[in-house]
Amino acid sequence: MPNAKTQPPRWATWLLNALGHPDTREEVQGDLLELYDYWLSTVGKRRADWSYCLSALKLLRPLAQSKRPPRYPQPLSLSPDMIRNYVKIALRNLTHAKTFSLINGFGLTLGMACALLIFVVVNHETSYDKHHKNGDRVYRVETTNVQNSESHAGTYTEMTAVLRNEVPEIERVAPVYRASGQSVAIPQEGKLFKEQIAFTDNELFYLIDYQWIAGSAQTALSRPNQVVLTESYAQKFFGTTDAIGKTLLLGDDNSLLVAGVLKDYPANTNFPFNVLVSIPTLKRVSPDYDTHGWGGFGDNYQVYTLLKRGIQPEQLNKRFHAIQVKYQKDPETIKNQHFTLNSLSKLHYGFNFSGRQANLKLLNILSLIGAFVLLIACINFINLTTAKALKRAKEIGVRKAVGSNQLALIYQFMTEAGLLTFLSGILALALAWVALSATANLMGLPLSTPDLFSWQVGAFMTALLILTTLLAGTYPAFRLSGMPPIWALKNNKLPRAAGGITFRQGLVIVQFTVSMILISSTLFINRQLSLFKNADLGFNKNAIITVGLPNNQPEKLQTFRNQLVASPQIKDVSFSLNSPSAESNWMSAMQYRKGAEPIEIRTQMKLVDAHFLNTYGIQLIAGEAFREGDTLPKFIANEVFLKRIGIDKPEKAIGQLVHFGDGQESAPIIGVVKTFHVNSLHQGIDPTLLQVVPKHFYQAGIKLAAENVSAASLRSSLATIETIWKSIFPNQVFSYEFLDEALAQAYQNEIRTARLIETATLVAILIACLGLFGLATFAAESRTKEIGVRKVLGASIPSIVALLSKDFLKPVLTAILIASPIAWYGINEWLKNFEYKIDIDWWVFALAGVLATLVALLTVSFQSIKAALMNPTKSLRTE
């Protein structure tokens, strides 16, 4: 029996028995007795009694109820041990659910690779000429037609001298004239080349940053017959970069002295010049070229300016108006034509010397497509993760029941999302590297591996991983971690949302809405391209070979033509400024003065010979054609020109005078041709006049005798043309192109848009189908017992397939209804870029809807049929 000296005060024990909480009385008394024994051994009888009585009073019911239960410290959710635990569990879950991981990982990989490649393209296209130190002050002088708000990159040749002498706000002025297909020879080494030449002066080197290997920016192009080469072209011509003082031959008799060698230009520049010749040499190469004129302009002659610091381009509007008044004089020209300045950073989005233009709308479409494809991949992750929660509901319930808080569960699910995203990101980078070459070819871009592994791509990739993790992981993490534990343990599934359309179905609707928009866009764009390809241009583009002429000496051209038409393989030959339809044209101001007020017509000039109409199959509908040997000025007009001057019938135009030049010269209209497309189908048809001007013959159009020829016959014809060429122009390189292929180049942006959207459509549909496949798999697994019972009760396989499929087809059909008006609006806006365009027909949307429905049905049916064919005895026994 215990000694009274070792017992606590009885009154305190009695109070605790009488007033303590009945549920915890025995446990509390036991704990206090153990503490009392400890106090006896450490502080003595007297202090042990005081401590016991005080503790008993604190634990009485009135006092104990006012106190909160003791809190036990929770482990830090982001401690190194917990993070290691999150990763370990995430790896186990990903490897355990292989189907889920593969579907999700493959979808994320495709989405991220697509977004990454699009970023590389957009980053390249928006980086042109951003590396020049004075780039923010460099502007190009452009000529704008007020009537149709059309800007031309070129301007009048006299503009250079006027700006230098009369505009003090401009610090430097640099003219650039591009001449394509110029013959360059190295006589001492017997080498012959055909190159693009830029005629300019030293001022260009103060606007555009060049790195000099040899020579000086102050003197390199200061005198006639000087040339500056890039290092790769110095190697190409002379086999060394030590080329200062060496000579090359431009054309037949223009000897050029190498005065400088430059480092090769970067890929992202609109000044891809390898051979720069001093601009005074231009007059020696082309004696008839007007280097100080206001009569006409072309896009190949451009003027660049460096504004003084603090000067804004808008401040020069009055200066340009004063120049017009002083030099152009004609009120109609001044009214309908303005000069504007276009910044260096925007040159890549219009006509430039790089040979290609970036399309801002296309870049925006690309960025939108990348975002959509990534969104579809993230939707897959959300849908599949929440669907997979059926198998993890009990796990979550147990975790929460044994004390895991919501924050720890959120971290766990976000870790799983982040790990899967990280692994997908590595695979996406590898996939992008493999697909980079194909992307570069598709877009016509000089992309290479360094573009993919730049710091900008690294920053984008980091942001993409974080964004994808947040997009894909946030909703599942909060949805699953917030699950009531009692529900999970009892039902082993997530609570269903009230209402008609669940969140998961809503995400499927978003996926297929995007897919439907892409399918519709693909169909419409290809129809527009078909219109471009098959449109009647008003002339014959088939079986015509175009060749740039090295000179236009009449006797040489006549000999060339006579020898060509003597061959039975050649039907006809025409010499002209350019083809009937060309991107670079000669625009001139013409006047018709028969009425009370003269009519000013901005006219496209086609400088042609007497064989032009026959060679290109252009129809003469009134008057007569040009004759061989015509020397007096005379015009053939198109129907658009007649409409502008108010003549309603072609016959009435014959003999009417058209004034040109300074207004003192005039020539009669001798014929009228049926309207033909002088520009691409992006634009309307300009008023056009044809005139015989032999000094401006720079191209030969050679019509083959047969339009449909075999490859062997075509090679024979080309060999014949080349043989004759070499006999007439022995020191010139023979190069050619087919007219139909040259005309197709005008639609490269649309062709690229079509190919890109087709590719994006396939990727988007593939990812969306992966998601549907995964959802159908989980749905079939969750309804295994139901399917077994239905089969036992006599349900047919088609009825079970229909039962499982209809839940997935409902959101797809809803997506079709949502996507159709959105796609209609987008296509309608895109078609506004074209003067000639297709109609937006309803059946295209119907076809896109049928395609989307078939794709979804095929995807879901695979799992539905598999589940319907399962042996019910096995499924019921397993359940």
Q: What is the pLDDT of residues 362-409, one digit of tens each?
A: 788 888 888 888 888 888 877 777 766 656 667 777 776 666 677 777
Q: What is the pLDDT of residues 46-91, one digit of tens each?
A: 888 888 888 877 777 555 544 444 444 555 556 676 677 767 777 7
Q: List the one residue out of 274, 291, 440 whose CA is nearest residue 353.
A: 274
Q: What is the pLDDT of residue 69?
A: 47
Residue 23 has pLDDT above 80, yes or no: no
**Rounded CA Rg of the chain:** 40
Q: List the one residue out of 198, 169, 186 whose CA is nearest residue 265.
A: 198
Q: List the one residue out of 710, 722, 62, 606 whose CA is nearest residue 296.
A: 606
Q: What is the pLDDT of residues 192-242, one digit of tens each?
A: 888 889 999 999 999 999 999 999 999 899 999 999 999 999 999 999 999
Q: What is the pLDDT of residue 575?
A: 94
Mean pLDDT of the chain: 83
Residue with tokens 């992202």: 268
Q: Where are the alpha helices (DSSP H) in 44-158?
A: 45-58, 61-64, 80-96, 98-125
Quick one: pLDDT band at residue 499, thresholds 50, 70, 90? very low
How many Cβ atoms are within 10 Å of 244's Cβ, its own excluded?
16
Q: Are strands 688-692 and 599-608 parallel, antiparallel or unpaired?
A: parallel
Q: What is the pLDDT of residues 698-716, one digit of tens each?
A: 899 999 988 777 888 888 9
Q: Where are the domains of the chain?
A: 4-64, 135-349, 360-531+748-878, 551-731
Burial of 720 (0-12, 13-18, 19+ CB in 10 A): middle
Quick one: pLDDT band at residue 493, thresholds 50, 70, 90? low
Residue 536 has pLDDT above 80, yes or no: yes
Quick one: pLDDT band at residue 878, thresholds 50, 70, 90? low
Q: What is the pLDDT of residues 151-186, one digit of tens each?
A: 888 899 999 999 999 999 999 999 999 987 788 888
How crowded is the C-beta side of 587, counted as CA atoms within 13 Å? 26
Dihedrals phi, psi of 172, to nearest 5 degrees: -145, 150
Q: What is the pLDDT of residue 389?
A: 61
Determine contact, residues 298/586, Cβ cutoff 8 Å.
yes
Kindly state the tokens that stand for 796.
Answer: 């047919």
Q: What is the pLDDT of residues 596-631, one digit of tens each?
A: 788 888 899 999 999 999 999 999 999 999 998 887
Q: What is the pLDDT of residue 849?
A: 86
Average pLDDT over residues 787-807: 76
Residue 475 has pLDDT above 80, yes or no: no
Kindly state the tokens that stand for 532.
Answer: 């471009």
Comparison of pLDDT for 4 and 728, the residue scoring more:
728
Residue 583 has pLDDT above 80, yes or no: no
Helix, strand or coil, per DSSP, at residue 805: helix
Residue 822 has pLDDT above 70, yes or no: yes
Helix (H) or strand (E) holding 691: strand 688-692
Q: What is the pLDDT of residue 120?
A: 92
Residue 546 has pLDDT above 90, yes or no: yes
Q: What is the pLDDT of residue 624?
A: 94
DSSP 4: G
Pick left, alpha or beta for residue 501 (phi over 0 → left; psi -120 to 50 → alpha; otherwise beta): beta
d(C-alpha 58, C-alpha 729), whole Å: 116
Q: What is the pLDDT of residue 295?
A: 75
Residues of the chain with pLDDT > 90, as a percent, come to 29
Residue 654 has pLDDT above 80, yes or no: yes
Residue with tokens 């670079």: 584
Residues of the chain with pLDDT > 70, as a percent, come to 89
Q: List the one residue out of 261, 268, 54, 302 whose CA is nearest residue 173.
A: 302
